[in-house]
Structure 1
Amino acid sequence: MAGESARRGEYQHTVQRRERLLGLLDERGGVSVQDLARELDVSVATVRRDLAHLEGTHRVARTYGGAIDTGRLDRSWREKSTEHLGEKRDLARWAADRVQPGSTVMLDSGTTVAELAALLGEREDLLLVTNGLSSILELADARAEVLVLGGRLRRPSESIVGLLTLQALERVTADIGYLGAEAVDPVRGINCPEIDQAAVKELMSRNARETWLLVHSSKFDREPPFSHWAPMGPGCGLVTDRGASEERISAFRDAGWRVETV
């Protein structure tokens, strides 16, 4: 009986500590592991175990040496859909013009990709393959043929990820693929809040004969906040708007990326 009571007390203490950890992230956005250990008066190892648990429930995203409140960057597509709408539509039009008749097109999740889906859905000569809920909604009344990749619905990005998604992707080769990104690095590729999402983006790129990332210029002003990466193959393309500085995008050209500004 005493042992059971002690276990209940330990569980409650763990729950309270994790709630306090979440409160610190909510206040500050991002906090280092060392600062969390000091604030909570526990070991770094305990903080890392707490972060691993909270990351598994999608309440935080682990970063290099710390964590960030997922609500700061990993927001729903509804929240992001009205931001920089003019530039996103310019990127979508540029991407749509590259799609040849009779193509199979891979469409990732994301608001810019959803703008592209709306344009491509009007064409009867295309097969559109997507894991993005926002794109699926845009394609509900499409004239194009649409293949929806099954799997786990990941919130808040509303993308479909996981083993079933990867199994379906293994059976698809696309002529061209368009991917979204919250942050991108010329060497590491696309920065992702969880490993399942990174795996899907990587396989999409690998199974498309030509891959382009549609990235608004504001994405270059932030440091990659997440701990997972989706590597992009040689010759991957990056298209952004004219708000991106030459210093930022030249690093991608130097690393062998094709870069276009719209």
Structure 2
Amino acid sequence: MKVTRRREAMLQAVLGGMTDVATLCEHFGMSEATVRRDLRALARDNRVLRTYGGAAAVGSHEPEASLEERRISLREQKEAIAQEASTFVEDGDTVFLDGGTTTAALARLLAGRTAVHVVTNNLLVVSPLVSSGVQVTVIGGDVRPTSMSTLGPLAQIALSRLSVDKAFLGADGVVAELGLCEASSDQSYLKECVMRQAAHVFVLATADKLGRASQQHWAPLVRAWTLITDDAAQQEQLEPFDAQEQVTVRAVSVKAASAANWSSQVQ
């Protein structure tokens, strides 16, 4: 196969989800050196993003799922991640809850914890928290219907006047070397604002979002942070995060979390 045709085929494979070197070697029957050389060439042409152990699509735009689709997808995984995240919240904390359904699952676990102050742009969490007696500060701004979160200049200004002990962030995708990807610049920049104001940063992401560069706007993760994901994450997905000194990775067991939740409900 000619080099040009081979690299075009490799580009299509990366766009189709084959993002690690080992998988590409097996698929094309090529040596690791050849695959890496082709990926470097594609990266020089800005056709892919090089990542630790592979590559990610660049300039791609996946259609956003509706809010209802997000509510019902991977519900057990999100509940398990939220349960693990809740163990980091202590009485007296001021925490930020980002937009999204995984942070909404965390909010349900914080309901009734009146010693915790929640700052949020996630309109999905306001009612259950306020009705249970939790102090809530809502960041103003423009409402984004697909996530029911507030964004824009007003939200950014409000955040610059606040600080939080812990920030719990979601994302459309998480790439170890690049950060959090989002569908809009307002979303990505708001996450940057939050990270500047937080003593500790936690990213809540189901395994399908790891290494996923599904959108074009990025919030770099240039400080210490904790990734909380589920145990469907493969070793090759976790390796790029483990290689980053500033990242702590927690992959939680969905079955164990579901059993613990069922036991608590029975009691």
2:120 maps to amino acid: T
Kept in 1: contact 2:79–2:105 (CA 8 A): yes
- The Cα offsets for residues 33-56 of structure 1, whole Å up to 9 and x where unpaired, read as xxxxxxxxxxxxxxxxxxxxxxxx
Cα gap change, 1:75 to 1:138, in 2 (>3 Å): farther
Per the normalisation by structure 1, the TM-score is 0.71
Identify unmatched segments of 5+ residues in structure 2.
Answer: 1-14, 16-56, 253-267
Distance 2:66 2:125 in 1: 13
Instruction: Determine helix, strand or coil for the equivalent of 1:175.
Output: strand
Cα gap change, 1:147 to 1:218, in 2 (>3 Å): same
For 2:30, the equivalent position in structure 1 comes to none
1:243 maps to amino acid: A
For 2:225, the equivalent position in structure 1 comes to 236
* 1:1-262 matched pairs, under 5 angstroms: 64-65=58-59, 68=61, 72=63, 74-220=64-210, 223-256=212-245, 257-262=247-252
> How big is the shift at 1:136?
2.2
> How big is the shift at 1:121?
2.3
Distance 1:93 1:223 in 2: 23
Kept in 2: contact 1:113–1:178 (CA 8 A): yes
> How big is the shift at 1:157?
2.0
Per the normalisation by structure 2, the TM-score is 0.69
- The Cα offsets for residues 212-239 of structure 1, whole Å up to 9 and x where unpaired, read as 101001213x741211101123211101
Kept in 2: contact 1:151–1:161 (CA 8 A): yes
Distance 1:183 1:227 in 2: 10
Instruction: Determine helix, strand or coil for the equivalent of 2:150.
Output: strand
Distance 1:90 1:176 in 2: 19
Distance 2:66 2:102 in 1: 13
Percent identity, aligned pairs only, is 33
1:238 maps to amino acid: L
> How big is the shift at 1:191?
0.3
Instruction: Determine helix, strand or coil for the equivalent of 2:61.
Output: strand
Identify unmatched segments of 5+ residues in structure 1.
Answer: 1-29, 31-62
Number of residue pairs the alignment of both structures matches: 196
The structure 1 segments of at least 4 consecutive aligned residues displaced by more than 4 Å after TM superposition are: none
2:195 maps to amino acid: S
> How big is the shift at 1:155?
2.8
2:151 maps to amino acid: V
Q: CA RMSD in A?
A: 1.7
Distance 2:90 2:106 in 1: 14
Kept in 1: contact 2:61–2:216 (CA 8 A): no
Distance 2:122 2:174 in 1: 19
Kept in 1: contact 2:180–2:218 (CA 8 A): yes
> How big is the shift at 1:204?
1.0
Distance 2:103 2:222 in 1: 20
Instruction: Determine helix, strand or coil for the equivalent of 2:169.
Output: strand
Distance 1:75 1:156 in 2: 8
For 1:24, the equivalent position in structure 2 comes to none
> How big is the shift at 1:97?
1.1
Distance 1:162 1:261 in 2: 32
Distance 2:241 2:109 in 1: 28
